[in-house]
Structure 1
């Protein structure tokens, strides 16, 4: 009985000592439970950076002009002065043709012109002779007439009529001589024109370069019969093909979706892998027409090639900045949420509470978007899973590193090899 009393007494002493411990354990468990109930959220900071859209295009260099040089007369090749690869200047003689009948025709026209000049000389002498005869006849008639008036009946009327008839006849001879002189002059002009035509045809036997360029192909050899290029016969081969390679056209196919960004004068960066060389050019022209098959628009950049270091037909990779913004607020695209027609972001404020804000977005790339209004630099925005959070909710933010700038690259279309067959057939 006594032992039981001691046990109860001991328990009575132990319970007061355990109560504070139990109380402390119960109180310390509340913060842990509270921390476990606050959700975490991945956030990124709004930063300043650049966003740009870069279009990568595969282009091909082509001569600025390609000319098939045909002669203007048919003949045999007497001499050809150039071969493939030769550089020529405008007006330089490329070849000489031999047309035997042309020389005879030229000599005949020269003789006809000399004969016409002789006719003119003879007609001028005839005019002076006729005028002298007319002057004498007119003076004789005038003298007889004056005498007849002074002394009527002294000069017979028959004699007076004969003198008058000779005067009028000599005047007619003067007019006839002048008409013959005019005819001789016209004949001379016709002979001169014919001689110039024959001389021009003779000059056409010397085939000259119409442009500065490079001979990219030669079609004729010495002794070959060459047909003139003055008709529409497509089977007649030219003598040579010239390419103006000191100035090249870089042709690039721009996809239909990117046509809106193409403007004359836009700067474009060009990389020529075959030469390990990079250059900068400007867009100078484009077709303003989208190809129905490739859905691309041909665009051209003029490239100076006075040293002929770039061979026509080489490929180049070009990069064109279609749209870009610099030093603007940017945020990850994953932070944007569309509510109806409005774009929203979930911002975590300084008290780690979620605040839903509308924003206005500008240029957008694959990972970043430009913020025009609604946010400030340094704001934390939730990226991903925004539907799990509500406005005003307490969260634990977990900062996720994100880039501030982005250059989005796009690839262009394929080169239309049929766009210029003339260059492709030159070799």
Structure 2
């Protein structure tokens, strides 16, 4: 006597249940770009801030001096441009009159040969050329003055930008979870060594929380963006619905899992980082597919998957191809037909053509599968 199961349709689902801890969507220690003393700090532990809100203001006198110096340099550069423009105008007028004088004396000398000495014509031409050279020099001086103004404007803009860094603003909407500095504290620039630079505050975004799930390698290939998940929170008890937002795309060798993240809206702030949740991943759903119990197939996961089919009391070995696997059943893609009786349990000692008596396995009386 051998136990058998009947190949038939079933709805199979691959659900994975994992535990995870809520984490802030993003969290950062807010550093200062420039070094200085805290003149004022406007937030404290638990303060809710919006992106761009002022967190603290630093006192940095040398930066204000740099701004004034750069402003004066820009004003001097603009004055040099005005002077250079006037020089171009004077050189242009001198060049015009020199050219006109040369043209007139040259015309007279051409029409009345011998009336004007040749030396006077040469002298006039030389003065015209000299005036043209002075005009070119004046234009070059104007270009140099304009370049100096550009450099001065750049210095002024940089000084202004550095002055703005003395006002520390929130990079995103969030809650202050730690305050490091007080009024009068010396804050080092954030570009310094982390052993020297002290943050001003720690800011965390709580209106959306992350759940990072370690999906086992056996299920990692089924993970897709947008897949639905059910999130169960125990304190207070409630169930939330979400979707997979992102996944690593690679398996960590140490744990044989793939990090998968779910974003959970938290507009009312009822969820807190550090709370635990149970997450149900719905990785696959196969309605009405041909299936058999999982112990009906030998060699699962290899190229030699096979099942033992009983037809007319005789065993036949069938090469099969399987698909979705749940905890109890397998999807059969090829090799079996609906209504086939397949031997379940141990297959040791069975061979092609062997005569057996079949009886329905006890668990096959349960009509609900998957």
Partner of residue 375, structure 1:
339
| 2:157 is the counterpart of 1:196 | yes
Residues 315 and 356 in structure 2, CA contact (< 8 A), matched pair in contact too: no
Deviation at 1:155? 3.3
Partner of residue 80, structure 2:
119
| 2:237 is the counterpart of 1:272 | no
TM score, norm. by length of structure 1: 0.68
1:304 is aligned, of 257, 265, 268, to 265
Partner of residue 343, structure 1:
308
1:38-187 to 2 correspondence within 5 Å? 50-187=11-148
3-state SS in 1 of match to 2:177: strand
3-state SS in 2 of match to 1:148: helix
1:395-406 to 2 correspondence within 5 Å? 402-406=365-369
Residues 306 and 317 in structure 2, CA contact (< 8 A), matched pair in contact too: no
Partner of residue 30, structure 1:
none
Residues 216 and 242 in structure 1, CA contact (< 8 A), matched pair in contact too: yes
Deviation at 1:271? 0.2
Residues 176 and 202 in structure 2, CA contact (< 8 A), matched pair in contact too: yes
The superposition leaves residues 287-344 of structure 1 with CA deviations (integer Å, 9 ceiling, x where unpaired) of 233333333222211222233322122211012244555557888889x698x95435
Structure 1: tracts of 5 or more residues without a match: 1-38, 348-353, 408-427
RMSD of Structure 2 on Structure 1 (CA): 4.1
Residues 49 and 404 in structure 1, CA contact (< 8 A), matched pair in contact too: no
Structure 1: distance between partners of 2:129 and 2:137: 12
Moved more, 251-260 or 111-120: 251-260
**Alpha carbons of structure 1 residues 291 and 162: separation in structure 2 relative to 1, 3 Å:** closer
Highest Rg: 1 or 2?
1
Structure 2: distance between partners of 1:129 and 1:231: 54
More helix as a share of residues: 1
Residues 290 and 338 in structure 2, CA contact (< 8 A), matched pair in contact too: no
TM score, norm. by length of structure 2: 0.78
